Amino acid sequence: MQRKIRWYDYITINIFYFALTARSQTLTPLILPLLVQMFMGDEVKGAAYGNLRLWALMIAVLVQGFVGILSDRSTSRFGRRRPFILIGGLTEVLVFIAIGVIAATLEGATGYWVLFGAYILSMLSSNTGHAAVQGLIPDIVPESKHGLFSGFKAFFELPAPLIFVSFVITKMVERGNIWGGLLILSAVVLISTAIAMFAPEKPIKQPPYEMDWKPILRLVLMTVIFTLVILGSGALVNFVNRLAGGLPDTTGLIVTVAVGVLGMVIAVVLGTWASVRVSIGSEDSGDKTSFTWWVINRLAFLVGSTNLASFVLYFLQERFVELEGAAAAGPTAMLVMFVGVAILISSIPAGWLTDKLGRKRICAFSGVLATIGTVVVIASVGMTMLYIGGLLVGIAIGFFYSASWALGTTLVPKQAAGRYLGIQNLAGAGAGAIGAYIGGPIGDGVGFTVLMSIFGLLFLISTLALFGIKEKPVSAPAAEGLTS
């Protein structure tokens, strides 16, 4: 079926990203770091937080790929993707309630491990919906509109929820009202899920490919390999950093940064290359090399952007002595808000520029600008300079999210878009796992300012990965309209 694009299609196809980011920006930079710090103390908070993020995000990698396959083949009369979005949204709200109970009733190591289990469940539910919603643009939007729809996706995925969380949910968390923040977040998820049910998706009569357990087994093996690479890289970094502790301060610092970057690069490049090749298999057609380098490009960039947000609360506590404990939540949210405003300004124009100038060019510009913004953040002596750096990083993220997704949707085969875009969650989930697991102990040992500099270098590495991608020309559709 074909019909002309309507204004509300931009909303219904992308609104669920608002819920997903509101969730991640409430839990990742605010509630989880504060609860981990409360349960485990300051000395090991970075390592404890990194451990939690690693295992939860590896579950996310597995779930997104698996649900992507299921949604590709779904013949439900409600559509291929929408039933999974509904399940993910409803079950996520139950997990938010559980986290509120944990925060109010538990303490110490017991609280940490029960929180660990709840966060695992949160990853199961949120990634069920996430895997499905990723298939909507390649399913029903013509390629000539992928850049513009990806720009709206970036708007709903980043600036809108970042600003909302900063002005609404963070105010409650800063006052210690975690329950209030979780209840508002629950309402956001429920409303976004309801609107997503109006996406112009039609059911399919037959699955596009026969059910084959080999891709699922490959997905499990991919997750195991990726996890082992991260664990190995983390062990190498920790071993060298212990040796560097006996060196003079400047030399030890240089060694720590160099080994930290090396460990993350090994996890990004080797982990992605091995995992994607195992998951896709040799019989699949298509440009697997370009797809793999696209995932590497996304993963390297997101290691930087995701973990700048994840550790910014600890970074502010370290740099500004007056921001102890929950007092850092407000400035953290303000910095996130500046990033969100910058993304708001840049995301939709970025979608238009992506269609005009090319996807790789915009991605390269994003990596360089994000590096500059990170340098400004690290060099900040006051909050004004910090916010300027946040603005630069935010503009870079807005451009990257639009251009990168538009680039990737032309690299994946249409008949298996859910599966391939589920595999690319190596970038989305793997970024948090690599940065938190490898970076957390570095922050505990030599400081979170050093850790931020390592994340800044990952932006440049993401730009280098673009050389491995052959960008496909965009084909114009036969008729201007949605196809499903």
At 483 the pLDDT is 37
Handedness of CA 220, 223, 226, 230 (dihedral sign): negative
185 in Cβ contact with 437 (< 8 Å): no
At 398 the pLDDT is 86
Q: Which two tokens stand for residue 38?
A: 């409360």
The neighbouring-strand residues paired with 267 are none
Question: Which CATH number, 1.10.1040.10, 1.20.1250.20, 1.10.10.10, 1.10.110.30, labels domain 2-203+212-474?
Answer: 1.20.1250.20
Between vectors from CA 432 to CA 250 and to CA 458, what angle results, nearest 5°? 45
Closest CA to 53 of 87, 27, 91, 90: 27
CA distance 84 to 271: 28
At 474 the pLDDT is 56
225 in Cβ contact with 272 (< 8 Å): no
Residue count (the chain): 484
CA distance 294 to 233: 22
Which residues have a Cβ under 8 Å from the Cβ of 339 and sit 6 or more positions away? 162, 309, 390, 391, 393, 394, 397
At 479 the pLDDT is 39
User: Residue ranges of the domains in the chain?
Assistant: 2-203+212-474
At 1 the pLDDT is 40
Block means of pLDDT (10 residues each) for the chain, length 484 residues? 80 95 90 93 90 90 83 89 96 97 95 97 95 89 82 81 86 88 97 96 81 75 86 90 82 87 91 81 66 90 87 85 73 81 80 80 93 92 89 91 82 72 71 88 86 92 91 53 38
At 218 the pLDDT is 78
Outline where DSSP puts E strands in 81-170.
none
At 285 the pLDDT is 53
CA distance 428 to 433: 9
SS in 3 state form for 380-400? Answer: CCCHHHHHHHHHHHHHHHHHH
Q: Which residues of 33-59 are buried (b: 16+ CB within 10 A; e: fewer)?
A: bbbbbbbbeeebbbbbbbbbbbbbbbb
CA distance 359 to 381: 36
At 365 the pLDDT is 93
Separation of CA 188 from chain center: 19
